[in-house]
Structure 1
Amino acid sequence: MSKSGALDLASGVGGKLQKKQVLSTVQRYEKYHVHHGGDEEERKANYTDMVNKYYDLVTSFYEYGWGESFHFAARWKGESLRESIKRHEHFVALQLGLKSGQKVLDVGCGIGGPLREIARFSGASITGINNNEYQITRGKELNRIAEVDETCNYIKADFMKMPFSDNTFDAIFAIEATCHAPDAVDCYKEIYRVLKPGQCFAAYEWCITDSFDPMNQEHQRIKGEVELGNGLPDIRSMGQCLEALKVAGFEIIWEEDVAVNSPLPWYLPLDKNQFSLASFRVTAFGRFITRNMHCCVNDGESIRRKTK
C-alpha cells in the first residue's frame, strides 16, 4: 500500500496515530530495517520502539483486511481463510488440553482475536499481554462487543519482563508473537518462569528453514522484506528456536513445520495472481481498490515445562 493510501486508511479507520503523524512514523520505522540502512543489532536494541511503531501503523489495516486474528494458518482446499485461522486456533487449544477454569496466558496477544476464539472454544480464562497501547484499547472494545469480559482480559507490559509471579499460569500460548523478541532464550525463560511446573506452552513462530542460504543475496533480500513487513528484529531458524526452548528449560513434546504439510500455500491470500471473493480485501485487486477508492515460514511447537 502506498504511503498516501496509508494516510487515508489510518485517518478513516482509526488508531493511535493522528493523520499528520503517519508519514513520519513510517519513515522512522523503515530506518530500522536493512533496506533503509538499519541493521539487526539496532533492531534488537530498540525492539520495543520498533514493534510499537509497526503496530501503531498496521493494526487498523490488519483488522480491516485480515480480521481480528493477525496470523497465517495451514489451509485445506475448499476452506476459507477465516475457517483456516479458526481451525488453527482450536488446534492450539486442543494441543494444550485447555478446559474451563484454567488460567491461561496469550503472549503478544494483538487485539485479542485468538484469545477470544480460544476462550470461547475451551472455556478457559485468558489474559493477553501486549506492549502496544492502541491494540490493548481496541482489544478491550472487541471483548465488550463479544461479551467475553468475564473470561478475557489484558495486561499492558513487555513480555520480556512480565509482571506475574512465578508459576502463575496453567498454560501459555504465543501465535506469531515471540518472533518479535530480541532474544529467544530470554523470552522463553520468562515464559517458563510464569508457567506452572509440568504444564505446556504452545508456540507458532516465523522461522527460516534449512533451505535458507545466508550467502545468497536473493534469500537475504526476501528475509529482509519479511522482517520489514512484519516488524521482526530477525528471523531465527527452526533449529535456533528449538534449541532456545531447551536452554530455557522446556522439554519439546511435539514440533512440526506446518507449512510443509499445508495442502494450500500459507501465503496464498497474499499471492497477487489469486482472486477470491471471500478474502477480496487481501487480494492484489482488492488492495488496489482499497488504496485508490480511499475506503479509508512457519513452525508449530508444543512444549512442556519440566517439573522441578
Structure 2
Amino acid sequence: MTNDPSVHHTVPSSLGVGRLYDEQTEIVQTEIVDGAAVDGNIHVGYWDSATDDRSLNQATDRLTDLVAGRLAAAPGQRLLDVGCGTGRPALRIARATGARVSGISVSNQDIDLARTRADATALADRVDFRYADACALPFDVASFDGAWAIESMMHISDRTIALTEIARTLRPGSPLVITDVLLRSPVTGDTADLVRQTCRAFQSPSLPEPAELRTSLDRAGLEVVEFHDIGEHVRRTYQAFADAFDDVAPSVDDPHYEFFHSTRSLPRFGALPQIGYAFLVARRR
C-alpha cells in the first residue's frame, strides 16, 4: 500500500458504501449517455481502441463479457458476484453461461433493483440477490465454481479478509476475476489531493495497488494467473459519467455535490497517468 498518508482518510463502513450506492444508483439507472441508457451498469466501460465507437452502455457490457470469458462457466455451475450492483452483470453472465448466480451488495436499493430485474426475466430461478458484506459471506465452504468482483475491492478496508472469505466459498481450482481502479504509482501534492477526494467520494479507504493486490491474493490462498492493467481501454468512462451528472439536479444536502457536480473532478481523476485499471484472474489453490 502507498506510504503517502495524504492519500488515505477515515475508513468507510459497509453502511457508508451502501449509502453511497443507495444515493447514486437512480442516476446511473436512468441517465442517458452517448444516446443510450446506461441501464444500471455501475462500472467502467471497455473500448478496444481509440476508434472504437461503442456507447458507454455497450462498453460496460463489453467489460462484463470479458469477465464472463475468464470465468468459463458451464450450465448448472454456481457463481458468486461480489458487489452485484443493480444486477445487470449477474443476469448477463447467467444468460451467457447457463450458470446459476448469487449476487451480494451492501446497498438495499441495489438489491431491490436487482431482484426487480431478475423477476422481469426468464432467469429469476437461476439468479438471486441478497444483502451481505464481502468480509462475512453467508455461504458454505466450497459453494461456488467461480466468482467475480467488479469494482468492489476499492471499497473494502481489509482486502485480505474479503479475499480470504471469497476463497473460502470457492471450490479448489475455481477462478476469481477482479476488475478495479488501480493506483499505478505513488502520488504527491495536488495529485494526491485529487486521489484523496476521489477516495472520499467513492467511499474507498485507498485505491488498490498492484503489489498490495498480489500480496492479499496470496495470503488468501489464491494464485494469480493473469494480471493486466487495462487503464487506457477504460479511461473515457470518467468523462462519460461526468457528462451524465451534468444534467442532474442534486439535492441540497448531497454530500457528493462538490465532487460529481461542481468541480468536474471525476474526469480530472480519470486522466491521471497514475490511475490504471486492474483486470486479474486468480484461482483457488
> One fold, TM greater than 0.5?
yes
Q: Secondary structure at the match of 1:219?
A: helix
Task: State whether structure 2 residue 211 is matched by structure 1 residue 232.
Answer: no
Question: Which of residues 91, 99, 122 in structure 1 aligns to 2:66?
Answer: 91
Partner of 1:74: 46
Q: How many residues align?
A: 247
Q: Equivalents in 2 of 1:305, 1:153: separation in Å? A: 23
Counting aligned pairs with the same residue, the percent is 22
1:120-131 counterparts in 2 under 5 A? 120-131=95-106
The aligned counterpart of 2:25 is 59
Q: Partners of 1:228 and 1:267 in 2: how far apart?
A: 20
In structure 2, relative to structure 1, the CA distance for the partners of 1:239 and 1:289 (3 Å cut) is same
The 5 Å alignment of 1:279-290 reads 282=241, 284=243, 287-290=245-248
- Structure-2 separation of matches of 1:298 and 1:198: 25
Relative distance call for 1:69 and 1:287 in structure 2 (3 A) is closer
User: 229, 240, 260: which one pairs with 1:257?
Assistant: 229
Q: Secondary structure at the match of 1:85?
A: helix
Runs (5+) with no aligned partner, structure 2: 32-37, 251-275
Contact 2:15 2:106 in 1 (8 A): no
3-state DSSP of counterpart to 1:291: coil
| Structure 1 unpaired stretches of 5+ | 1-33, 272-278
Whole-angstrom distance in 2 between the partners of 1:175 and 1:117: 14
Residue 201 of structure 1, CA deviation: 0.6
Larger Rg: 1
Q: Which amino acid aligns with 1:152?
A: V
Contact 1:74 1:259 in 2 (8 A): no
CA RMSD, 1 decimal: 2.2
- The 3 A distance-change label for structure 1 pair 166 and 222 is same
Contact kept in structure 2, 1:160 and 1:186, CA below 8 Å: yes
Find the counterpart in structure 2 of residue 189 from structure 1: 164
5 Å-filtered alignment, 1:1-308, equals 40=9, 42-44=10-12, 47-65=13-31, 66-76=38-48, 77-210=52-185, 212-213=186-187, 216-260=188-232, 262=233, 266-271=234-239, 282=241, 284=243, 287-291=245-249, 297-306=276-285
Supply the AA of the counterpart residue of 1:52.
Answer: G
AA at the equivalent of 2:154? C
**Partner amino acid for 2:24?**
V
Instruction: Quickly say closer, same or farther: Cα 1:48–1:218, change in 2 above 3 A.
Output: same
Rounded Cα–Cα distance in structure 1 between residues aligned with 2:156 and 2:175: 20
Residue identity in the other structure for 1:43: V
Higher percent of residues as helix: 1
Determine the C-alpha separation between the residues in 1 that align with 2:45 and 2:211: 21
**1:211-238, CA deviations, whole angstroms, 9 ceiling, x for partnerless residues?**
x33xx12121121122123221221212
Are 1:69 and 1:85, in contact at CA under 8 Å, matched by a contact in 2? yes
Runs of 4+ in 1 over 4 A off after TM superposition: none
Residues 43 and 50 in structure 1, CA contact (< 8 A), matched pair in contact too: no
